[in-house]
Amino acid sequence: MSLTELIAGVEAHEKTLTVFNADEDVVESLREHFSDRNVVVEQGDAAGGPSDYVVLSKDEEFLTAASVEQVLNPRRDARPYFEHDGGRPILDHLDETMFTSYDTRQMVSASREIEDRAWRIGAGELHAGFQKLSVLETQLDVYEQLGDRPNLDVHAYAYPDVDFPDHESFTVHVERSKEVERSWFVIYDGAGVDANKCALLAEEREPRRFYGFWTYDPDTVDWLLEHLRTAYGLIETDGGETDGDIRH
């Protein structure tokens, strides 16, 4: 299975957010709020029930419920995308949730969340796909800093569209692969701790517009890492390891 096929598999698992006993303007606010997610927002009717609450379901299976206030105004001290807290019952169930048509600014913001987690823990492996070497060049300072963490093993992947950039503290995988050229990903193995694992994966379907998902599901993170190691890892020869398209 390729990275594109994984994105398509997550995309196929659309969730439904049903809004009960709320005004139409509340429903429209929720539709706008989730406009970049793979979530259908619909209005329901539950006579005699509480007002302004929502139910999240998948294939008619109940997942969780919350008030509209909890969804639209989560705790202000919560970090976006990758940090769990008890005040976000809906978002916690949107693990492996698709986002649609993210621009470069939104992708960078999401990527920074994972990079920050790797920096704070300071151990394990961080793998990042930049699509092209010219994009990686713009992030060299950030990745040199990450690579300087003594127990953090940092890998970058890119298609060669410019000369190979000078770098010191991390590994660059130069890959003439359409998958690498189309995919933006940041994957952190959590230093082996499942609760710390997280990943962002997206593909460029329109010029600088990205479709994909984020996840903190450890099995999905492990699959992504295994895919990268299998498809783009070091090559063993009779003389030991060779670098192939991998440069240190």
Residue 115: strand, helix, or coil = helix
Say which CATH topology domain 3-94 has. Glutaredoxin (3.40.30)
- The residues spanned by each domain of the chain are 3-94, 99-247
Single-letter code of the amino acid located at 224: L
Tokens representing residue 108 in the block: 């960078």
Residue 21 DSSP symbol: S
What pTM does this model have?
0.69
163 φ, ψ (degrees, to nearest 5): -65, 155
Q: Report d(CA 21, CA 51) in Å as an integer.
A: 5
Q: Distance of CA 234 to CAs 13, 63, 124, 191, 244, Å? A: 34, 42, 18, 20, 7
Domain 99-247 carries which CATH code?
A: 3.30.870.10
Please say whether the beta carbons of 56 and 93 come within 8 A: yes
Q: Is the dihedral of CA 85, 201, 148, 237 positive or negative?
A: positive
Per-residue pLDDT of the chain in tens (248 residues, 90 and over written 9):
899 888 887 776 678 889 998 899 999 999 888 876 778 899 987 766 678 888 888 778 887 788 888 788 755 443 333 333 433 455 555 555 667 778 898 899 889 989 999 999 999 999 999 999 999 999 999 999 999 999 999 999 999 999 999 999 999 999 999 999 999 999 999 999 999 999 999 999 999 999 988 888 899 999 999 999 999 975 333 333 334 344 33
